[in-house]
Structure 1
Amino acid sequence: MEDVTVVDDSQENECEQIFETTHSRTSDGRYIVRLPLQRNATELGDSYTLAVRQFHRLERRMVADPVLREKYITFMKEYAALGHMELVQSPYDHIMRSQRNSAWCSTLRHLPALESHSTTQLVGPTLQDSLSSILLRFRRYRVAITADIEKMFRQVLIAPEHRDYQTNHLERQAALARTAILTSFYVDDFLTSCESATDAVELATNVNAILSAGQFTLRKWNSNDSQVMKCLANESSLSSYIFHSGTASVLGLRWDALTDQLFFGVDLSQTGEIPTKRRVLSEVARLFDPTGLLAPVVVTGKIFIQRLWSAGLSWDTPLPDDLCREWLKYRSLLPELNQVRIGGWIGMTPHVPTSLHGFCDASVHAYAAVIYTRTSCSNDSVRFTLLTARTKVAPLKAATIPRLELSAVLLLAETLQNVRDAMGLADVPYYLWSDSAIVLC
């Protein structure tokens, strides 16, 4: 049985209270916040000397790399032009200047050591939904839309008295827009789906209106519906924003808006290096699969990693011949994942019967759970769609098959609940399947 973690939320509540009672807005709507400092926090140390040393190291890199130098100059000029940084007096009597070949002269800020921030600031509650939950809702309805906030973190101002610590008032314009803002953002990426093109345009317009009031600019609008793209391009409040059609990135996956297909980008550079445990772990970790659509492939890699641990290999010891051959064969097939295409829309509409079907199974190596949706189509046909899957590697300490089957059932129950919560399907019928007689008893 898994341990239950007891969470102390007193710090989260205090952090949220600080924001509620101290934040304000500028005349143009931009938010001003204070840092959530802990009570009686220890005074931060002086990192000026360290900052100067790091800056001089950067300057030496720029002398050797003209491309980096130009990018740095352009970035810093934009930063200053937008008012996202300010000049400050040197903490010492002399003024620190760039003495080398930099065309842009930067003034270093007297910042506290970065490692000290975790001991002086409160940690607030997690406000955004999980990445997998947002992707599930993104696939729910036919019309999908995406966008991101331009320079999101720089749109919020820090109160003047707290600026030396660093280098849920939403207007009720539309209830759906408010819900979308609270549930469809992962950091600065916005993605959701709507029942119709009309709903998508209205939602995009309302979300943009609310965020613009706080000086958060949405850009890179994209949709799998040409009518939505046309309407958004003609919308007066959005016409000056950047639009992006075709292939785009959605939370680590690739999305072809023209065909409404999700696909994966597996990029394993060819190397002649001998495989080691360190390299194997690094390359398996690059198989980013938040929805579990590649679960059979990813769990195979995790099982292989477990075998490396069981073999007692050190991080940089070359793999034995048998393990090396097995790894190279597995690795050679990974680029084939780039050919996998998965439909975005899962076929759900508000008035069409939908049910969830879950399956689980276990072996001595791993156990897994998978969820499908079953939707009825207008022509009396039925559509089954793979929604999500989860896997876990069996523990190194030998466990009986009945125990692993029970673990698989628990994993299935947890996965089903996550899907129902994420997609708002609490009232949708569901069916869970297992081939274990012990579990069914």
Structure 2
Amino acid sequence: MVKNITAICKLGGFNLTKWISNSREVLLEISEEQRSKNFKELDLDRDKLPVERALGLHWCIETDAFKFKFNIREQPHTRRGMLSMISSVYDPLGFLAPFTIPAKIILQDLCRLKCGWDDSVPQSVQQKWNKWMEDLESVGSFKVSRCLKPKDFGHVISAQLHHFSDASESAYGTVTYIRLQNSKNQVHIAFVLGKARVAPLKQVTIPRLELTAATVAVKVDKMLSSELQLPLEEPQFWTDSTSVLKYIKNEDKRFQTFVANRISVIREASQVSQWRYIPSAQNPADDASRGLKFEHLTRE
């Protein structure tokens, strides 16, 4: 692949450099001048491969895993300072979604209390924030395997996405896993994408929030189905809300605009037969809607 891409780009006058790979065999085939700066003087037989940045994430090349690193700066205990700290957690794939959602809920509570951007926050809120900040310092030890497929798993004969959705009074979220099966009938499950959002300030009923989470799930499925370069089977959607399942299966009743619009999105992107019930205790999306402390996130 390296040779082919390099040859194609040379036809247009582009010289590709700064190559990085977690494969020492591939790196040995690339000249020192063409490698990334941190690899030029590396002894590939003995030296440990470094940590690099890839699309905003820290990539530990030696273990082929994503990790997180933050420069935690002292911020004032105000809405502005809290927003700055939350925004510094760059997590596009939602690995830390259950951990970051409690901080976003704290920020929303301050909006509900009508605190100004630079006003000092109440003592009770400050205590919650300090506990979250203590956990944030531990996030540097969190690692997630980059590859969806384990090493030596072999040829994948079956791949299927499973989407879980859930909602609570404070937040709603979805999580997607992929189920891989190889020619030896071995099965591997891998995390693909997670999303968690705070509930609107204007109060919405739990069934409607559950329906909103289900709508996000089908949108995620549409995006992943077009992006993953795998022959995917029909996806499955899971919810612990019987109300959502009744909404989706209903063929007769006319609903109000809020419900009708979301049912329309769900029915256009999925079939009724793809929706299944899962008990709340077994629903992994429950973590996205309620939040987790860092110690519980790593245990999961």
The aligned residue for residue 417 of structure 1 is 222
Q: Is the 8 A contact 2:164 2:239 kept in 1?
A: yes
The counterpart of 1:369, out of the listed 174, 178, 196, is 174
Over residues 283-305 of structure 1, what are the superposed CA-to-partner deviations in whole Å (9 max), with x where a residue is unaligned? 00001001111111122222111
- After superposition, the Cα gap between the structure-2 partners of 1:320 and 1:351, relative to the gap in structure 1 and judged at 3 Å, is closer
- Deviation, 1:240, is 3.0
- Map of 1:352 onto structure 2: 157
Q: 1:314 to 1:417 in 2, by over 3 A?
A: same
Match of 2:277 in 1: none
- Measured after TM superposition, the shift of residue 386 of structure 1 is 0.7
SS at match of 1:222: coil
Please point out which of 194, 199, 204 is paired with 1:399: 204
- The CA deviation at 1:210 is 2.7
2:95–2:193: 8 Å Cα contact kept in structure 1? yes
Does structure 1 residue 207 correspond to structure 2 residue 5?
Answer: yes
User: Which segment drifts farther, 411-420 or 211-220?
Assistant: 211-220
Q: After superposition, what is the alpha-carbon deviation per residue over 1:220-244, rounded to whole angstroms, capped at 9, x for unaligned?
A: 21112221112223xxxxx532333
C-alpha distance in 2, partners of 1:425/1:407?
A: 28
Structure 2 partner of 1:342: 144
The one-letter amino acid paired with 1:258 is E
Question: Which residue does 1:257 correspond to in 2?
Answer: 61
Task: Give yes or no for contact 1:390–1:415 (8 Å, CA) kept in 2.
Answer: no
Q: Does 1:306 align with 2:108?
A: yes
Tell me, yes or no, if the aligned pair for 2:176 and 2:193 is still in contact at 8 Å. Answer: yes
**Given that residues 163 and 177 in structure 2 are in contact (C-alpha distance below 8 angstroms), is that contact kept between their aligned partners in structure 1?**
yes
Matches within 5 A, 1:236-315: 240-243=33-36, 244=39, 245-269=49-73, 271=74, 274-315=76-117
Structure 2 Cα separation of the partners of residues 341 and 212 of structure 1: 37
AA of the residue aligned to 1:411: V
Give how far 1:428 is off.
2.4
Q: Is the 8 A contact 1:420 1:426 kept in 2?
A: no
Structure 2 residue 234 is the aligned partner of structure 1 residue 429: yes
Report % sequence identity.
Answer: 30
Of 243, 260, 264, which residue of structure 2 is paired with 1:438?
243
Counterparts in 2 of 1:215 and 1:333: CA distance versus 1, 3 Å: same
Where does 1:40-439 land on structure 2 (aligned, <5 Å)?
Answer: 203-233=1-31, 240-243=33-36, 244=39, 245-269=49-73, 271=74, 274-347=76-149, 351-377=156-182, 380-425=185-230, 427-439=232-244
Aligned CA RMSD, in angstroms, stands at 1.9
Gaps of 5+ in 1: 1-202, 234-238
8 Å contact from structure 1 (residues 220, 242) kept in 2: yes
**Is the partner of 1:223 in helix, strand or coil?**
coil
Give the drift of 1:339. Answer: 0.8
Residues 424/344 of structure 1: CA separation in 2 closer, same or farther (3 Å cut): same
Partner of residue 24, structure 1: none
Partner residue of 2:257? none
**Matches of 1:268 and 1:216, distance apart in 2:** 39
Mapped partners of 1:284, 1:247: distance in 2: 24
Q: Secondary structure at the match of 2:223?
A: helix
Contact 1:266 1:338 in 2 (8 A): yes
Question: What letter is aligned with 1:382?
Answer: V
* Most deviating of 242-251 and 325-334: 242-251
Shift of 1:424: 3.6
Unaligned runs of 5+ in 2: 40-48, 247-300
Q: Is the 8 A contact 1:394 1:404 kept in 2?
A: yes
CA–CA distance in 2 between the matches of 1:380 and 1:438? 36
Q: Which amino acid aligns with 1:406?
A: L
State the secondary structure of the residue aligned to 2:190.
Answer: strand
d(CA) in 1 for partners of 2:128, 2:9: 52
Structure 1's 324 and 315: CA in aligned 2 closer, same or farther, altered over 3 A? same
Query: Hey, what's the Cα distance between the residues in 1 that align with 2:244 and 2:96?
Result: 26
Equivalence for 1:49: none
For the residue of structure 1 that corresponds to 2:244, the secondary structure is helix
Distance in 2 of aligned mates of 1:214 and 1:325:
58
Q: In structure 2, what is the Cα distance between the partners aligned to 1:210 and 1:423?
A: 24
Secondary structure of 2:71's aligned partner: coil
Indicate conservation of the 8 Å contact 2:20/2:35, yes or no. no
Rate the CA distance shift 1:428–1:232 in 2: closer, same or farther, 3 A.
farther
Shift of 1:425: 4.4
1:357 and 1:432 in contact (8 A); partners too: yes
Structure number with greater Rg is 1
Q: TM-score, normalised by structure 2?
A: 0.72
Q: Which has the higher contact order (CA 8 A, sep 6+)?
A: 2
1:369: Cα distance to partner? Answer: 0.7
